Structure 1
Amino acid sequence: MMFEGVLTKMRTENSKPVNYYLVLDTNYINFNQLLNKTIGIKFLRFECLNCHLDKPIYRQGFCRSCFFEAPQAADWIIRPELSQAHLDVEDRDLVYEKEMQLQPHIVYLANSSSIKVGVTRKNQVPTRWIDQGAHEALEILETPNRYLAGIAEVALKDHVSDKTNWRKMLQNDIKDEDLKAYGAELKNYLPEEVKPYFIEDNSETNIEFPVEAYPEKPKSLNLLKTPEYQGVLKGIKGQYLIFEDQTVFNIRSNEGLVVAIEVIVN
């Protein structure tokens, strides 16, 4: 079987374990069904997710010009505290910014390699946690817009990390934490204007990933340096494909690359 198309992040279904789907043009791949099968990946060309031209990808699936112009790549995406749609102030496209920013947002704790704090739109729960490879997560605030969630995250980053160690996450070097107790402690560090949005009584979400073997020393596949690769799929976690030879491939960080994916009969 051969599939071809531009990479975008895998779609997920929070079952036990998580189901992973890669949509390629009119086809899709359910990677759960391909565990223990040999998969070939070949880089063909680029396709910017915004202008759809064959131009080198700069960041987040966009070519350089689109990264600095498209509203989907504005600074407030990564730094929600920079959101200004609630003030009716435009960054790149106020209609888009209002649509994205002026909706309920969740500030959460997630445990993938260690406890981290993050922000996501409410309708992205639990997708965001799955994408980060978190095996447990907890909502601690629900705010009416992105700005308030952002200033809460900034305050908490002084006391808890906002980063994931991808190697530890893929090695499954993790331990369970009492996220509810941790969140209760962090409440003391929140700005007064967001404390009314703190969720007092909530339970953790636990996530199981379809992994049969974790890599001891994961090595990341770079298709621009190694345009063709072939390996036996042993698992999927976060947005990573995990192969038998310790190679891992991050679908999300390779968005905008057009690839051919072959499922080889063993």
Structure 2
Amino acid sequence: MAPHDAVLGWNEDTTAEAYAAFTRDFPMYSATSRDLAQRARLTDSRLVLDLCGGAGTTAAAILELAPLQARVISLDNAAAMQRAGKRTMTDPRLTWITAPAEDLAAHVPSPADAVVCNSAIWKTDVPAVFAAVHQVLRSGGRFVFNIGGGFAGVSHPDETGRTGPSLNTLIRQIAARDYGYTPPRPGADTPPKLPLEAVTKHLSAAGMTVLETEIVAQHSTMAEKKAWLTIPVFARPDGGDFTHEQRMDILNKAYALTTPDTATTTSWLVVVAQRPREGR
């Protein structure tokens, strides 16, 4: 079963506003968005799709790198997220479309030079989305996306070298102590949800080729991690009959056991794929 934030809560204004505030106050999403946009090679692009674009952080990075004549479509299934983005993003080159990622081919008017998706592929029907991306990309167009290390089953050396308990570990401990929470016990052989082998297989089935992959590290602090976990869809622990207020109580108690500027690291698998050029 996917975590509770996979499908629920994204179309709620409380989540959308908290998420948009986080992207303004902390660099995680803007940094990962710039990385993906740079890998998409947007120098000569005219149409770029921001897939599962949320409140528009990735669209903003694309607009910074794409030429002035380029248009950007930000497609997301959550109207609340897009409403939050529209309040601060008024670039006339940006179009917002509310639709599922799987339906993107029905909403893209002409071949796209690139499709970029930041941290959301795992929430979709991956084979269907990859097929739709292939359909909308021009010959030679790039598809660039990332997958959280936990879902991809990868870890950057910077993350594996961490000392001390993570904030998530402390949250589970506080929840068990104060609320009788029993965390799920996954089997030792539980496979990752979206490893590179599966990604490559799905891309190949969709008619695309992998150009490059890289495991990258995103560095932040306990303060940023705590702010991220206050967003309702990300609040922990998973499972259990907790209200949001109870999760925030657990988070605050766990955070009190940390130092705000302690460095934290998350791992990401970055994939750059391409619709093959015609004749090859």
TM-score per shorter chain, which class? under 0.3
Between Structure 1 and Structure 2, which shows a larger proportion of strand residues?
1
Between Structure 1 and Structure 2, which shows a larger proportion of helix residues?
2
